[in-house]
Structures are given as C-alpha cells and as structure tokens.
C-alpha cells in the first residue's frame, strides 16, 4: 500500500506494506487528498517538478532537481518509508526526536546541515540532483545520481558568440518562468545587485507587471538601497522599502525559525523573512536573483584561485572549507567535550569532496562554480528561499534556476566568466543594454546585515537570553561561556568584527530551531544572565578582572 498526500504545496506520504492512511491524516492539520501511483511534484524553478515521488515496478522513487529549490526528507519506521517536503511533517512520527551529532557538526562548519544529513537522528534528506530508489521488500535505497554540473569538452571562447547565446538563453528562461503567471503583478526582491536587477528588467521587458521590494537597514551597515532605487526608476516600477531593525528582528526571530524548517545560520534569514512577509500582502509570486552568483562565478573566487596556484597543495578542500567563515577551524573552542569525542571520526571534507571533484570540472573556475551550485546554492540559498516564501503563501522563482542556461555556462571558457578582476564578465556584457552601466559594472558588495553592531548594542540583553550559559550547558552541545568569549574577543585570532556577529548568529539560529521546532526544553534564569550590564561597562569590568 502506498499513499501520497498534497497539502498547501507541501508533500507528505508513505510507502510500505500496511495501510496507514489514518495515521497520515492525524499528522496533518488540514484536509488532505490521497493519491496513488502517479507522479507528483512541487515546482518553484520553472522545471516540471522540483521534487517528485514515483511508483515504478511497485518500488518507490524519491527525487529532486539539481538546483535544490524544494527539500525532500525521508525516514524508515516500522518497515514503512515516510517522506515529506518539510522536516516538521515527519517529527510527529518519532516519539523522542534526538539531535544528530553529525548534522550538528556540519551546521557548525557551514551554517546549514549538509545533505543527506539532517539535524534529527533517523531522518535523512534527498540530495539535490539525486533519485533514491527502493525496490519491493527493501528498506535501503539505491542512489541514482545525475551529474548535471560537468564541464563541456568544447569551450566557447568567442565573446560575441557567447553574448548572443546568453541573451537568447536568458529570454528563454524568463519565458519558461512566466508562462503560467496569472494576469496580476509579481514581486521582485530587488537588492540593487546585478542578478535581481536582471530579473526585474527581463520581467518588465516581457510585459509583466512588477512590484519591487528592497530591505532598508536604516543608518546601520552598508546599504545598497540607492542602487535598488536607481533600477526601479530606470524600469519605472514601484519600489517598496521594507524596514529591518533590531526591534523587528527580535519580534520575527521565533517565526523565522519555524518558517525555515531546518536551522540556517546566515544573518540574512530574518531580513528575508520580513521581505517575504511584506510581499505576501500584495502578490502571490516573487522573483529573486538567487543562482546568478553560482552560475557566473560571482562570489569572490580570486583567493581560492590564488590558493590553488601559490599554496603548498593544489587540494582546494581546506581553502574551500574556510570560505564558509564558521567553526571549521574552531571546534575545540566551541563544542562541549562529549560532542568533540563523537565527531573525531568525522571529516567535513567528505561533505564537499564530490562537489570539488576535478573529474567533472578540470578547469578551476568551473570546479568552483560546480561547488557553489551543489553546496552554497542547493543546500543553503535555494531551500531557505523556498521555505521562507511558502511560509507566507508565496511561490518563489529565479530565472537562474534554469537547466539549459546552467548547463550552457559549463561550456563557456573561464576567461569569459572572470576577466581580470571583473567577475561575471559575460553576464554583464549580455545585459548591459537592459540596465544603467553603474548597476551592471559596479563591484558586488553583498547584503550588509549589521549583525555585530546590533548584537553589541540594541540586542545586547537579548543575546544574554538567547545564549544563556545555563541553557547552552544543558543542551550538551555548545560550551557555556561561548558567547562571552566571542564578544570579548577571546575566541580566535581571525574571528573579529563582522565574523563575531556571524558566529553568534549561527548559534542563535540553532538554539531557536532546537527550542522552537524540535521542542526541546530550556530553563534559563536571570541570575545567570551574562549581559545584564550595558556592553561598554561589561567590557570594562571584564578587562579589569582579567588583569
């Protein structure tokens, strides 16, 4: 007996010998439709399906497309395979969910849990670009991997040819994304960067009504808002500025943890939650620019290229692990002794080795782009974007999550991707007729979420509650005085400035997920609050005591 249920864009069901429809109905809080023996999927990228469940030869297939837009999880309970597109839909099946130490360790290294791991023991994730097949009478799946991201044997080196082909591919990608849109405005998350600006420009060029949304951090941090305004004015579309400040972050933190489903430790998560919340009041579909950096070598690849050329080893594994700027090199400063003993046999390199395999991409820049697509894109950026949007009833799309376009980029010479110090060169050449030159050719800065400033000032007291030493000690994961050592600069030599805020936020989001989603209990007390005093006075007393 096999059953699949669709509920509000969420996929959940089971495959096994027994009829468990009643139990399935109890797991869900709304009416469900039970279907059997047909393909199903949830589409967010313009592909036919982002994840799917198929019954073939009486066996079960679970699959995901290679961009990783929609997650898919499974667990084996009482000779039955249960699956869902949200981890929280499977948690009621487990009597006492336990934290998976390997998943926790991976989160500490990357700020997301690397697939096929999840943060819960007994639940696994289907990796992006993979199908899992269970034959009848078996509970261990066979993995069917399709290596979509491979360097083409022949490389385009002619700039004119590449520009023309890329313009055609971008147009085809946007046509696939808009073909089923209703006759109503769509939203665009317009950061002011190149990729989201391209999305907005192509939508307008194709006659779509667009409302743009951008984040407003006020006076704190680096703001790209003037660039978003410039693009909106150029395209003659309305631009809504969504305020983000410590008060709003504090208020939305718990809801963000629920919406993300899994812990994601990047500082952009709460601002993006607020962005989706605002857009959901006006539109049902939103576009973003996610994926452009992965496809066109937009992240800072130059240090990795230098490491490959001048380093003692041509192995990129260790330098690439350091690009995450999390706890890979600081486990002994961060984790409790019991965790350290359990992770001794784990090597984070194993979670990224396939993505950096030169057999699939001999040219260095193609290899780095393959890794960005498989790791930072498919396991972090894309699934969290989908979860935040779906929480607010939105469908999210990106023109860069387009398979023909993505495969084409692996046939373009690296010299056209990164030309001198200019990143994303061929993309900029292809779209320079659509946008102001200042937008196209300026250097990327990224979203400037002022985490360290907020945590040292307006969120100082909250930091003491969120990372209370008593709570951290009881969790058995983090060292109890971790927050105090971070904010006093006593954690690690290279963890300074913005890196302090990033690591503090990594821990905060894990703790929020552990308490809010997993439902673990905590008993903090005011007497053990480390940051009751104002931050300057706290630092003064700390320095005096250390003399």
- Per-residue H/E/C for 311-348: CCCCCCHHHHHHCCCCCCCCHHHHECHHHHHHCCCCCH
Range name among 29-43, 205-219, 225-239, 421-435 with the lowest pLDDT average: 29-43
Distances (CA, A) of 489 to 267, 508, 518: 20, 18, 31
Closest CA to 518 of 54, 70, 119: 119
Mean pLDDT of the chain: 88
Bigger pLDDT: 417 or 41?
417
> What distance in Å separates the CA atoms of residue 272 and residue 289, rounded to the nearest whole number?
13
Judge whether 438 and 192 are in contact, CB under 8 Å. Answer: no
Q: What is the pLDDT of residue 491?
A: 85
Cis, bond preceding 54 (omega within 30 deg of 0): no
Range name among 70-79, 293-302, 396-405, 497-506 with the lowest pLDDT average: 293-302
3-state secondary structure of 139: coil
Rounded to 10 deg, the angle between the 269-279 and 246-260 helix axes is: 90
> What distance in Å separates the CA atoms of residue 159 and residue 414, rounded to the nearest whole number?
12
Q: What is the pLDDT of residue 505?
A: 97
Q: Is the pLDDT of residue 137 over 90?
A: no
Q: What is the pLDDT of residue 314?
A: 57
Q: What is the pLDDT of residue 467?
A: 93
Q: What is the pLDDT of residue 511?
A: 96
3-state secondary structure of 58: coil
Q: Which of 8-12, 84-88, 248-252 has the highest mean pLDDT?
A: 248-252
Closest CA to 379 of 356, 399, 406, 351: 351
- Write out the two tokens for 473: 């000690």
> What distance in Å separates the CA atoms of residue 228 and residue 213, rounded to the nearest whole number?
9
- 0.75 exceeded by pTM: yes
What CATH number is given for 159-298+381-441 in this structure? Answer: 3.40.50.620
Exposed (0-12), middle (13-18) or buried (19+): which is 501, by Cβ within 10 Å?
A: buried
3-state secondary structure of 534: coil
Q: What is the pLDDT of residue 39?
A: 45
Range name among 90-99, 294-303, 345-354 with the lowest pLDDT average: 294-303
Q: Is the pLDDT of residue 22 over 90?
A: no
- How many helices and strands, by DSSP H and E, does the chain display? 24, 18
Q: What is the pLDDT of residue 37?
A: 40
43-73 per-residue burial string, b: 16 or more CB within 10 A, e: under 16: bbbbbebbbbbbeeeebbbbbbbbbbbbbbb
- Write out the two tokens for 124: 């696994």
> What distance in Å separates the CA atoms of residue 547 and residue 536, rounded to the nearest whole number?
17
Distances (CA, A) of 60 to 2, 363, 437, 524: 9, 37, 51, 46
Q: How many CB atoms lie within 10 A of CB 545?
A: 7
Range(s) within the chain of domains with CATH label 3.40.50.620 = 159-298+381-441
Q: How many CB atoms lie within 10 A of CB 207?
A: 7
Q: What is the pLDDT of residue 312?
A: 46
Closest CA to 292 of 150, 215, 205, 193: 193
Range name among 24-38, 415-429, 440-454 with the lowest pLDDT average: 24-38
Q: pLDDT over 70 for what percent of the chain? A: 86
Closest CA to 380 of 211, 486, 510, 263: 263
- Write out the two tokens for 17: 């010998």
- Write out the two tokens for 200: 């907005």
Q: pLDDT over 90 for what percent of the chain? A: 66
State pLDDT tens for residues 89-113: 899 888 899 999 999 999 999 999 9
Average pLDDT over residues 258-285: 97
Bigger pLDDT: 130 or 535?
130
Q: What is the pLDDT of residue 147?
A: 83
pLDDT classification of 32: cutoffs 50, 70, 90: very low
pLDDT classification of 525: cutoffs 50, 70, 90: low
Rounded to 10 deg, the angle between the 194-205 and 225-235 helix axes is: 10
Q: What is the pLDDT of residue 189?
A: 98
Q: Largest alpha-carbon pair distance within the chain? A: 73
Closest CA to 259 of 238, 244, 279, 274: 274
Q: What is the pLDDT of residue 419?
A: 87
Q: What is the pLDDT of residue 43?
A: 52
Average pLDDT over residues 116-125: 97
Instruction: Give residue 23's Cα distance to chain centre.
Output: 32
Q: What is the pLDDT of residue 20?
A: 61
Average pLDDT over residues 40-53: 64
Bigger pLDDT: 118 or 448?
118
At residue 216, φ and ψ (nearest 5 deg) are -120, 105
Range name among 162-171, 179-188, 425-434 with the lowest pLDDT average: 179-188
Looking only at the bridges linking them, the beta strands covering 40-41 and 51-56 are antiparallel
Q: Is the pLDDT of residue 496 over 70?
A: yes
State pLDDT tens for residues 214-256: 999 987 766 788 999 999 999 999 999 999 999 999 999 999 9
Q: What is the pLDDT of residue 417?
A: 92
Bigger pLDDT: 239 or 148?
239
Closest CA to 241 of 279, 184, 270, 283: 279
Closest CA to 21 of 42, 1, 7: 1
- Write out the two tokens for 504: 């503090």
Average pLDDT over residues 16-29: 62
Residue the block writes with tokens 């078996």: 138
pLDDT classification of 30: cutoffs 50, 70, 90: very low
């Amino acid at each position: 007996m096999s059953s699949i249920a669709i509920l509000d864009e969420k996929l959940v069901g089971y495959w096994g010998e027994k009829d468990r429809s009643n139990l399935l109905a109890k797991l869900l809080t709304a009416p469900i439709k039970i279907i059997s023996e047909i393909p199903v999927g949830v589409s967010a990228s313009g592909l036919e399906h982002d994840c799917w469940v198929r019954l073939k030869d009486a066996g079960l297939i679970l699959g995901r497309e290679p961009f990783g837009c929609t997650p898919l999880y499974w667990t084996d309970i009482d000779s039955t395979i249960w699956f869902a597109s949200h981890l929280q839909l499977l948690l009621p099946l487990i009597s006492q969910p336990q934290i998976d130490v390997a998943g926790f360790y991976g989160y500490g290294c990357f700020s997301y849990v690397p697939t096929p791991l999840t943060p819960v023991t007994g639940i696994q994730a289907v990796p992006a670009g993979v199908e899992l097949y269970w034959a009848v009478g078996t509970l261990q799946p066979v993995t069917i991997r399709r290596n979509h991201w491979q360097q083409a044997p022949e490389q385009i080196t002619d700039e004119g040819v590449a520009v023309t082909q890329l313009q055609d591919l971008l147009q085809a990608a946007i046509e696939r994304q808009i073909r089923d849109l209703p006759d109503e405005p769509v939203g665009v998350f317009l950061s002011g960067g190149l990729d989201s600006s391209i999305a907005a420009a192509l939508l307008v060029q194709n006659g779509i009504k667009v409302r743009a949304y951008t984040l407003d951090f006020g006076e704190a941090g680096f703001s790209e808002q003037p660039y978003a305004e410039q693009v909106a004015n150029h395209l003659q579309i309305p631009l809504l500025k969504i305020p983000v400040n410590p008060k709003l972050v504090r208020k939305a933190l718990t809801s963000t943890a629920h919406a993300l489903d899994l812990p994601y430790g990047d500082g952009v998560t709460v601002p993006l939650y607020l962005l989706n919340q605002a857009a959901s009041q006006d539109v049902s579909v939103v576009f973003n620019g996610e994926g452009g950096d992965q496809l066109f070598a937009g992240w800072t690849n130059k240090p990795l290229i230098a490491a490959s050329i001048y380093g003692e080893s041509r192995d990129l594994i260790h330098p690439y692990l350091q690009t995450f700027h999390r706890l890979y090199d600081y486990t002994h400063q961060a984790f409790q002794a019991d965790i350290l003993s359990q992770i001794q046999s784990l090597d984070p390199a194993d979670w990224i080795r396939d993505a950096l395999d030169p057999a699939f991409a001999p040219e260095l820049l193609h290899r780095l782009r393959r890794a960005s697509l498989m790791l930072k894109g498919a396991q972090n950026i894309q699934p969290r974007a989908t979860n935040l949007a779906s929480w607010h009833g939105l469908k999210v799309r990106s023109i860069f999550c387009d398979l023909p376009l993505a495969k084409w980029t692996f046939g373009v010479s690296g010299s056209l991707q990164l030309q001198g110090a200019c990143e994303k060169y061929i993309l900029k050449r292809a779209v320079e007729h659509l946008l102001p030159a200042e937008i196209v050719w300026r250097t990327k800065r990224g979203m400037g979420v002022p985490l360290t400033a907020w945590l040292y000032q307006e969120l100082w007291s909250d930091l003491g509650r969120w990372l209370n030493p008593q709570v951290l000690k009881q969790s058995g994961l983090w060292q109890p005085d971790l927050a105090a050592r971070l904010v006093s600069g006593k954690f690690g030599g290279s963890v300074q400035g913005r890196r302090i805020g990033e690591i503090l936020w990594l821990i905060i989001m894990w703790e929020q997920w552990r308490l809010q989603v997993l439902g673990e209990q905590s008993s903090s007390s005011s007497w053990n609050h480390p940051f009751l005093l104002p931050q300057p006075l706290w630092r003064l007393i700390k320095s005096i005591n250390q003399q």
